[in-house]
Amino acid sequence: MSKIAAIKPFGQSIWLDNLSRGLIASGELAKILKEDAIAGVTSNPAIFYKSISSDPLYTGDLAELKKQDLTAEQRYEALVVPDIQATCDLTRSIYDQTKGVDGYVSLEVSPTLANDAQGTIDNAKRLWAEINRPNVMIKVPATPAGVIAFEELITSGINVNVTLMFNLTHVDNILTAYIRGLEARAAAGLPVDHVHAVASVFLSRVDSLIDPQLEAIGTPEALALRGKVALSFVKVSYQHYKKLFHGNRFAALKALGAHPQRLLWASTGTKNKAYSDVMYVEQLIGPETVNTVPDATLALFRDHGQAANTLDTDIDAAIANLVAVRQLGINYNLAGEQLQQEGLKQFDEAFVKLLELTK
């Protein structure tokens, strides 16, 4: 068994944070799905920019699309929707075997709609219909407008991957919006047993922002918190998840066959070379969660990662770490808002570059 596949018995699903036509056509994607028990695939504008700009399998189709009277965004979608459909078909057996828990492929709504609830709803519904696969997830950001859109999409029975979550407010807002969406669906007499969603919590960017602030403070207490804030945030978020979905609030929906909205760990490649290069995988393994991992980090874990149930350990220390950060004068909630805005900007910039390719 590969070291990555060894994570599965602990109840966590590993998804691949990468997608390209070459990855599909070469058979490499099918190979790692099988050998490493990879259970899903995520994409974003930055991933597709890299793929379309470097993968020669797009060249011919793009040249043909440029002869047609289409917008740059329509050409982009004409390129990537078939890739999403092909990947959904590749992972459909996982979806069927897990009864809809895994086997998902994610595609993002246009980043330009991050603050437009109705635009996000319309874009998501169109992509959902166009892809026409039960195991696609439409990605929506956890902005205030995104929360509104997400609730409506769940009520409409659309699978959603909510992205760019950086603080406990984001987590709680999204998890409760999911429940409200399912409650509205149940109240309308509609089935809730086939609707699935994940909530993508971003990790390495948190430490990249907070660590320099801790170093600027410079006390032994501050320095001791470096590299611990993101992990602590995730462990506390997981406790919120368990309380909500294994408590009274979700009980009636669970009786109707509804599924919890699993937390998903994103941005799991270690950016600081002083830390373990697999820390955001190794230290956050636990039941009913997902970790979407880039190729490079998968290779590192395949080489020297260790699978163990680590997510539910040292909870008191995680809480104490977040309290200590606040006592040092670092406003973690505001930091999360800053990180979300920076993440939106990065996706916007990647999308602009992407559309430059398809003009």
Instruction: Give catalytic residue positions.
Output: 139
Instruction: Write the DSSP string, 155-207.
Output: HTT--EEEEEE-SHHHHHHHHHHHHHHHHHHHHTT---TT--EEEEEE-HHHH
Q: Which residues contact 178 (CB under 8 A, 6 or more apart)?
A: 150, 151, 154, 197, 199, 261
| DSSP H or E stretch at residue 354 | helix 332-357
Q: Give the residue from 247, 151, 157, 156 showing the smallest Cα distance to 199.
A: 151
**189-207: string of b/e by CB count within 10 Å (b at 16+)?**
eeebeebbbbbbbbbbbbb
| Amino acid sitting at position 123 | N
Distance CA 26, CA 30 (A): 9
Sign, CA dihedral 120-179-197-191, equals negative
Which DSSP letter does residue 132 get? -
Tokens 């039960």 belong to 134
Q: Give the residue from 18, 1, 12 showing the smallest Cα distance to 269.
A: 18
Beta-ladder partners of 160: 138, 197
| Amino acid sitting at position 222 | A
Q: Using DSSP, how many helices (H) and how many strands (E) does the chain show?
A: 16, 8
- Residue 338 tokens read as 């800053």
Contact, 62 vs 1, CB < 8 A?
A: no
Q: Give the residue from 170, 178, 180 showing the smallest Cα distance to 234.
A: 170
Sign, CA dihedral 55-58-60-64, equals negative
| 48 CA to centre of own chain | 15
- Residue 254 tokens read as 């669970």
